[in-house]
A = this chain, B = another copy of it.
Amino acid sequence: MRRLVALALVLSPSLAAAAEGMWTPDQLAEIAAPLKAAGLELDPAALADLRGQPMGALVSLGGCSAAFVSAEGLVVTNHHCARGAIQLNSTPERNLLVDGFHAEALADEPSAGPGARIYVTEAIHDVTDRVLAKVKPGMADRARFDAIDTARKELVAECEARPGYRCNVVSFFGGLSFRQLVQLEIRDVRLVYAPPGAIGSFGGEVDNWMWPRHTGDFAFYRAYVGPDGKPAAHAPENRPYRPQRHLTLAAKPLGEGDFVMVAGYPGSTFRHRLADEIEAVIGWTYPRQIAQMSELLAIVAAAGEPGSEVAIKYVPSVAGWENARKNFTGQLEGFARADALGAKRREEAALEAWLATQGAAGRRGQANLDALRAHLAKARETRERDQHLAAIGATGLFSAARTLHQLSIERQREDARRQSGYQKRDEPAIEARLRQLERRLDPGVDRQLLRYSLLRHAALPQAQRLPELDAWLGLGEAGPAQREAAIDARLERLYANTELSDTATRMGWLAAERGQIEASDDSFLQLAVALSPALQRLEDARKAHEGGLLRLQPAYMQTWLDFRRSQGRATYPDANGTLRITFGNVRGKSPRDGLAYLPFTHASGILAKHTGVDPFDATAAQIQAIEAGAQERVVNFLADLDVTGGNSGSATLNSRGELVGLVFDMTWESVASNWLFDPALTRSIHVDLGYMAWVMEQVYPAPRVLRELGLRGD
């Protein structure tokens, strides 16, 4: 009967509607009324204080979100966000992704890896005036891009002159404003606790985006700093970082309808894009990318059985392609279900109708909108070629060669003038990427993947192809029938005459000068050199296109904001990797007629799903602990707030700003929300704090962490 009692609680009709919106901290005052209405017990204004409670405790891991939960720098995030660190500390004898990990003492906490970071946002400054200072009306698009790019780099360089800080200048509302993020960059991150994989990734890919869900997707890191209290690279003498703030843990379990908010670092959304853009995504981008990823997946699948050495090297690629393919498929389903294109078109028609009532300003707005549409349409002309070139650029050895060559070119320039991604600040990441290749590359598969995209490129009309690539491949006048043989012959020599797959050789080139690289007889470096002018030409075109967007988009966004304001609607900027707050309530949904997702799952559901076979292989300890009376324990819950990729690991807070769980996924019907938020169907999936504590108490014990969290008195 418990189930039906839970049912009854789920769905009280008095709840407010799902709360769309990823609000910037400074917008919280603007939405104070809906926040209060949804149940927030704190002062919305206090929430805006980046250094206050709870916002001061919330951090970014770069791609994931997290939160400080102790005065000693303990950080909680998702198990899937700590996956790399857990894998790194595994050995052939001890796979921590399977077994789990718990450091018995502080001294046992291993490094999460040289690339692991914790970013503490200390300030966000509006720097629009400085970024746009050199922009003049009537400027050419490329000049506009360079003016803005240069100003952004200057701002970053100034800010990062202070050691221990990472700074970014980020565009909001398509370049309508720019903000500088000042983040303390903690570089010594250590692994404290991860549950066994049968808990941390229970359900695996099968349950990805699914509900009902039963995943204990949590892990703990600790931030370390040098003896002087400042960020430092991993070193034995470092000591735990003492954050200014850490979250309080909620004592009271959540109930159906309760207020929840999530503060974190969502990556990208496209809610303010034009209907033409969603039409292109539906009609071309996603279908083509799904088809392409299916081809790449087939190549890797044919190269080796699951579990073989080759297959293991491509596990991250395969996971990424499968994830994206599933996501795009879900988005297309969602677009169709919600008639997303129709909705966008109707919204734009309403905007244009409103513009028609706005006199001269309205006419200017309409002209700008028309120009923006035309500008976007122009970029779509080469999208097929761009897709193939991106795939070529993503193959392992070519990517390494291209990076080495471009870095040698950029290093000839002063740092501030180097291309983004090749500045001194980027070099550690470049080095990590190049080194990582040793675990992710099989030359045979690499060649198959490159061959696939070269053939696709060669099949394009001549006007779209890169002459440099045609020349290098020796395609010349080759008809379709000869192309394949020509490409195969070239690939044969290409892979026979390179040593870039050797890590020492590859890393050795990192220090080389441009002249050395351009004189190299390594075939992949020669290919990168041969294509360099073409790729530079495309890069220049891209910058000009971006410049055009920076000319047209801010004006469009201003029009859009004015239009929405005329309807009394507040507008949040699209997600851009910066700190956002979203709020809503714990609630289920009806994913389709006659069916409901209930807002809570329970440990009993783990027993029901348990098959003994990965990914549904609960541990014996867990099964025993559940059967010993924990069947009713909440595992995961749904909320109607608004998150996206990058929010993984974000703290879920209750009405008093206390930690109640972590967001780790959204439901299948929600994936289209990146483009169009559907309040009836969009739900985030959270792991419950009580479940985390129970796992650490009963299943895979972590008494030291529990004591530090104040959950155990002894």
Contacts and interface: CB of A to CB of B under 8 A. Distances in A.
A3 B680 contact: yes
Interface in A510-562: none
Contacts of A212: 592-595
B7 A8 contact: no
Nearest to A211: B594
Nearest to A1: B680
Interface string A630-647: 000000100000000000
A441 interface: no
Nearest to A14: B8
A364 to B, nearest CB: 39
A4 B594 contact: no
B601 A598 contact: no
A11 B636 CA distance: 21
A608 interface: yes
Given A593-B602, A594-B600, 18 more contacts: A1-B17, A3-B593, A4-B13, A4-B589, A5-B13, A7-B11, A7-B590, A8-B11, A8-B12, A8-B13, A10-B11, A212-B593, A592-B605, A592-B608, A593-B604, A593-B605, A595-B595, A596-B597
Copies per assembly: 2
A588 interface: yes
A213 interface: yes
Nearest to A638: B594
A597 B594 contact: yes
A590 B11 contact: no
A595 B596 CA distance: 6
A11 B608 CA distance: 23
A391 interface: no
Nearest to A603: B593
A599 to B, nearest CB: 8
Contacts of A601: 593-594
A590 B337 CA distance: 25
Interface of A: 1, 3-8, 10-13, 17, 211-214, 337, 588-590, 592-598, 600-602, 604-605, 608, 636, 680
15 contacts: A3-B680, A4-B13, A4-B680, A5-B13, A7-B11, A7-B596, A8-B11, A8-B12, A10-B11, A211-B594, A211-B595, A212-B593, A214-B593, A594-B636, A596-B596
A488 B542 CA distance: 75
Contacts of A680: 1, 3-4
A637 to B, nearest CB: 9
A337 B608 CA distance: 8
A309 to B, nearest CB: 38
A393 B590 CA distance: 50
Contacts of A211: 594-595
A387 to B, nearest CB: 30
A3 to B, nearest CB: 4
Contacts of A605: 592-594
Contacts of A596: 7, 10, 588, 595-598
A590 to B, nearest CB: 4
B595 A597 contact: yes
Contacts of A588: 7, 596
A592 B17 CA distance: 26
Residue with the highest number of chain B CB atoms closer than 10 Å, among A1, A211, A590, A636: A590
Contacts of A13: 4-5, 8
A668 to B, nearest CB: 13
Contacts of A636: 594
A214 B594 CA distance: 9
Nearest to A637: B594
7 tightest A-B CB contacts, nearest first: A212-B594, A593-B605, A3-B590, A594-B601, A596-B596, A8-B13, A7-B11
Nearest to A587: B4
A608 B593 contact: yes
A662 B595 CA distance: 21
A11 B680 CA distance: 19
Contacts of A604: 593
Given A11-B4, A588-B7, A595 B594 contact: no
B590 A4 contact: yes
A6 B595 contact: no
Contacts of A337: 608
Contacts of A5: 13
Contacts of A8: 11-13
Nearest to A8: B13
Nearest to A592: B608
Contacts of A590: 3-4, 6-7, 598
Nearest to A606: B593
A254 to B, nearest CB: 15
A385 B608 CA distance: 37
Nearest to A17: B1
A618 to B, nearest CB: 14
A597 B594 CA distance: 6
Contacts of A600: 594
A337 B636 CA distance: 22
Contacts of A594: 211-213, 597-598, 600-602, 605, 636
Residue with the highest number of chain B CB atoms closer than 10 Å, among A590, A596, A604: A596
A669 to B, nearest CB: 12
Nearest to A595: B212
A545 B40 CA distance: 73
A334 to B, nearest CB: 13
A211 B680 CA distance: 21
Residue with the highest number of chain B CB atoms closer than 10 Å, among A6, A7, A212, A214: A7
Nearest to A631: B593
Contacts of A597: 594-596
A380 to B, nearest CB: 31
Contacts of A608: 337, 592-593
A192 to B, nearest CB: 30
A13 B256 CA distance: 15
Contacts of A598: 590, 594-596
Contacts of A17: 1
A667 B93 CA distance: 48
Contacts of A7: 10-11, 588, 590, 596
Residue with the highest number of chain B CB atoms closer than 10 Å, among A588, A593, A600: A593
A202 to B, nearest CB: 13
A63 to B, nearest CB: 28
